Amino acid sequence: MPSLTPFQRTAADHARPTTVSAARPVSATARGTVLAEARTLIAPGGDHCALFSLVLAMRRRAEDHAGLVDEVHFSDEGNRVRIVSRWRSAEDLRAFVDQAHDDLLDYRAASGAFPTVERTLWWTAADTEVTAAEADRRSEHLRAHGPGPNAFTLGSPVPPPADRRVR
């Protein structure tokens, strides 16, 4: 799929978390777990316009991706944007990341640099709320202790837990 950067939303749409139609069941695996993702995009040099376009394109791409369960938190801090989402599996998230490569190339063409992307992942029960505060704690844990069952990355994946009562 080509880059989605040319498609724009209004500022009000940008600030609202995305919703996925109820037709998508949440049961990601036989164990009832989903992959939570806290993604922070940081604009080098503070180029908010280019970052804004990238974020819009990535949100639109995620909304159209069958592996997205939902977006549960969004914050825009100027040159830093935080998105917390839930995905059916690590494979679905990886497919999304691969598809978003064109959007990153468009960002680079517009700004002259790639954004910094920080991603923290963890497994959670499909029926458990994921909060921004939890995402912050998990990201801090990953930075302090490295990858493990509490927080990991796509480069250091952890399989879904066997027990439905996910940590």
- Residues 72-106: tens digit of each pLDDT: 999 998 889 999 999 999 999 999 999 999 999 98
DSSP secondary structure of 99-151: HTHHHHHHHHHHHSSPPEEEEEEEEEETTS---HHHHHHHHHHHHHH-SBTTB
Alpha carbon separation from 92 to 29, 36, 37, 63, 139 (Å, rounded):
12, 12, 12, 13, 21
* pLDDT above 90: residue 6: no
* pLDDT above 90: residue 67: yes
Each residue's pLDDT tens digit, 137-147: 999 999 999 99
pTM greater than 0.85: no
pLDDT category of residue 164 using cuts at 50, 70 and 90: low
What pLDDT sits at residue 139? 97
Would you call 31 exposed, middle or buried from its count of C-beta atoms within 10 A (0-12, 13-18, 19+)?
middle
Each residue's pLDDT tens digit, 116-132: 999 999 999 999 999 99
